Structure 1
Amino acid sequence: MLWILDPRAHFPEQKDGDLVEDGVCVGFITEKAGLSQPTVSSHMKKLADAGLVTGKKFGNWMFYKPDRSRLQAIGSSLAEAARIEPVKRTVS
């Protein structure tokens, strides 16, 4: 996630698609992660299914970028949850 949140710092420019606007090619993610393409594709699909990234197909390749509004909403919810005092329970 950190790599695709700041793709220009972590990936070279792509032939197809803009790193920020269109997302990072799964081939670049595969190369950087040192994993197989099916493994990376499977993980990225899970992130997409969870709403953390969006995918876009260019030719034979998928490009992924973070869903920043969804990530921000999750971050806000977590920050709010961290501020709430837990209910103290007494042990009987």
Structure 2
Amino acid sequence: MANSLSDRCKAVSHPGRLDLLRWLKDPAAHFPPQIDGDLVVDGVCAVFIARKWGVAQPTASRHLKLLTDAGLIVATRKKGWVFYRRDEQACAALKFDLEKSL
């Protein structure tokens, strides 16, 4: 993986970002249905993420960028919106790397 363990750990060190990773593990249980994009296949619209977090969209975007840069979530543009979903392989690799290094 291109991102160091330290960088990936920093990305999940914020409680809100950790919550988001939990929510994205089962998006249908945590977010309302969307008109555009399937919650599981395409991911969750950034607007719904910001609303659930209770933060302004620029704040949510900053956190989402950190998780995307760490490779833990994937962003997809569709019809002018950005959707985010977990990268399950990357999350499993983080868990493995963390267990291996402790």
TM band (smaller chain): 0.7 to 0.9
Q: Which residue of 1 aligns with 2:37?
A: 17
Q: Which residue of 1 aligns with 2:51?
A: 31
Which of the pair has the greater relative contact order for Cα pairs under 8 Å at 6+ separation? 2
Mapped partners of 2:91, 2:49: distance in 1? 20
Structure 1 position 80 matched with structure 2 position 80:
no
**How well do the aligned residues superpose, as a CA RMSD in angstroms?**
0.9
The number of residues matched between the two structures is 82
Partner of 1:62, secondary structure, is: strand
Mapped partners of 1:59, 1:45: distance in 2? 20
Q: Which residue of 2 aligns with 1:50?
A: 70
Q: Which 5+ residue runs of structure 2 have no aligned equivalent?
A: 1-20
Mapped partners of 1:63, 1:53: distance in 2? 10
Larger Cα-atom Rg? 1
TM-score, normalized by length of structure 2?
Answer: 0.76
Q: Which 5+ residue runs of structure 1 have no aligned equivalent?
A: 83-92
Name the aligned partner's letter for residue 28 of structure 2.
Answer: R
Mapped partners of 1:74, 1:58: distance in 2? 28
TM-score, normalized by length of structure 1?
Answer: 0.84
2:86 to 66, 87, 92: 66
Identity %: 46
Partner of 2:75, secondary structure, is: strand
